[in-house]
């Protein structure tokens, strides 16, 4: 797409399954610069984003919001241009008639690391509060992050996902999960 053409209508683009029949993300967008729209199981628009590597971003979103990532539409561009990417995203939001929740009230859930601390069980909260020092608190946070990670991986496997997922081990010490 060149800088002087109108962005394509979101409604005119092909709808792709988020995961193919082999449990993989759409390989044709690997390393591609583009704008993407993510839809839930009922094909309701959830989030519109852009990236210098569409597949890498799709992987992050799938980990952060697996219950909302079932379908997608993608428009790639030849050269990275934040202006063009933002124009396409704005046009798609306008075409949608309202801001998708993932670009509004729930944006942090789509764009920020998973905070495992908010998923602490009462027992974990008690262990954390009763920790005698910072090192012990860090160990509790790591355990919480590992539990949340295991739960998340179960959900992704139940979806048939075969994509390798590796979380940043340093962030687990802070109770956060984000892909490495």
Residues in contact with 178: Cβ distance below 8 Å, sequence separation at least 6, in sequence order: 60, 113, 114, 167, 168, 171
Asked whether residue 155 is assigned to any structural domain, the reply reads yes
Quickly state the pLDDT bin for 2 (edges 50, 70, 90): very low
Query: Could you write out the three-class secondary structure of 53-121?
Result: CHHHHHHHHHHHCHHHCCEEEEEEECCCCHHHHHHHHHHHHHHHCCCCHHHCCCHHHHHCCEEHHHHCC
Instruction: For the beta carbon of residue 139, count every other beta carbon within 10 angstroms.
Output: 15
Point out the domain boundary residue: 54, 72, 106.
Answer: 106
Contact 50, 20 (CB under 8 A): no
Point out the domain boundary residue: 52, 76, 106.
Answer: 106
Q: What total of structural domains would you count in the chain?
A: 2
pLDDT, residue 135, reads: 95
Its pTM stands at 0.92
In this structure, the answer to whether residues 135 and 59 fall within a common structural domain is: no
Asked whether residue 5 is assigned to any structural domain, the reply reads no
Asked whether residue 4 is assigned to any structural domain, the reply reads no
* pLDDT one-digit tens code per residue, 97-139: 999 999 999 999 999 999 999 999 999 999 999 999 999 999 9
Phi, psi of 67 (to 5 degrees): -75, -10
Domain region containing 16: 10-106
pLDDT, residue 47, reads: 98
* pLDDT one-digit tens code per residue, 62-105: 999 999 999 999 999 998 899 999 999 999 999 999 999 999 99
Asked whether residue 135 is assigned to any structural domain, the reply reads yes
Asked whether residue 147 is assigned to any structural domain, the reply reads yes
Point out the domain boundary residue: 48, 74, 106.
Answer: 106
In this structure, the answer to whether residues 80 and 134 fall within a common structural domain is: no
């Amino acid at each position: 797409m060149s800088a002087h053409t109108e962005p394509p209508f979101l409604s005119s683009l092909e709808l792709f399954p988020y995961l193919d029949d082999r449990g993989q993300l759409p390989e044709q967008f690997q390393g591609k610069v583009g704008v993407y729209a993510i839809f839930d199981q009922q094909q309701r628009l959830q989030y519109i984003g852009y990236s210098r590597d569409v597949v890498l971003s799709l992987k992050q979103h799938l980990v952060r919001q697996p219950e909302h990532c079932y379908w997608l539409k993608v428009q790639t561009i030849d050269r990275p241009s934040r202006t063009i990417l933002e124009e396409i995203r704005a046009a798609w939001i306008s075409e949608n008639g309202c801001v998708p929740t993932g670009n509004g009230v729930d944006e942090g859930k789509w764009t920020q690391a998973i905070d495992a601390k908010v998923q602490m069980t009462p027992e974990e909260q008690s262990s954390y509060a009763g920790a005698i020092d910072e090192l012990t608190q860090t160990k509790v946070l790591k355990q919480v992050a590992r539990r949340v990670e295991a739960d998340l991986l179960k959900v992704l496997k139940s979806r048939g996902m075969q994509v390798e997922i590796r979380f940043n081990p340093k962030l687990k010490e802070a109770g956060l999960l984000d892909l490495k």
